[in-house]
Amino acid sequence: MTPNMLSETDELVRYSQRSLWLALVVVVVLGVPGAVSLGFPDSETGAFLRRFASALPIGIIIAVAYLRSWASRARLNPSGSAMQAIQNDELRADSMNRAFRNAFVGVMVLQPVLAIWLTRIAMADPLAFAACVTVLSGAVLLLASILYYDR
CB hemisphere CA count around 149 (13 angstroms): 19
The number of folded domains in the chain is 1
Which pLDDT tens digit goes with each residue over 21-62?
Answer: 888 988 888 888 888 888 887 888 777 877 777 777 887 888
Q: How far apart are CA 63 and CA 69, in angstroms?
A: 10
pTM of the model: 0.79
Q: How far apart are CA 57 and CA 61, in angstroms?
A: 6
- The domain in which residue 127 lies consists of 3-149
